[in-house]
Amino acid sequence: MRPAESDYAANVTLGIIEGKWKLLLLCHMHNGTKRFCEFTSLIPGLTQKVLTYQLRELEANGLVERKIYPEIPPRVEYSLTAYGESLVPLLDLMNQWGQDHQKLKAALE
């Protein structure tokens, strides 16, 4: 994760949500608690190592809660914290803008 360079606060936010799959992870968790293996089936191309890493970063920033069930076979569930939910408006806005942008690009062809 990029350190928050310069004191522009938006860069702090960017540093937290940037990462190839983080937005997608947040989005899926917003739709409900997910298990580790669910992500890999929901998101083709996402490898375990990277998934682990990005979930840990989200967790470190307090956006995500990691619940371990001491069972055999092991079960770990990930969910958005209340703090993570505070990002939802931002995700929605980014999603909306991205959709509009894609439509605009498509219209130019």
Instruction: For tokens 């991205």, name the residue.
Output: 98
Contacts of 27 (CB under 8 A, 6+ apart): 91, 95
Q: Which stretch binds DNA (CB under 7 A): 25-33, 53-61, 79-87, 90-98?
A: 53-61
Comparing C-alpha atoms, which of 12, 11, 8, 95 is closest to residue 61? Answer: 12
**Is 43 a binder of DNA (CB under 7 A)?**
no
Structure tokens at 42: 């929901």
Q: What is the DSSP letter of 74?
A: -
Residue from the set 12, 60, 76, 93 that interacts with DNA by CB under 7 A: 76
Distance CA 94, CA 91 (A): 5
Binding site for a second copy (CB under 8 A): 2, 4-6, 8-14, 16-18, 20-21, 23-24, 27, 43, 45, 61, 83, 86-87, 89-91, 93-102, 104
Q: Binds 35, which of DNA, a second copy, none (CB < 5 to 8 A, cut-off by type)?
A: DNA
What residues line the site for DNA (CB under 7 A)? 1-2, 5, 18-21, 35-38, 45-50, 52-56, 66, 73-77
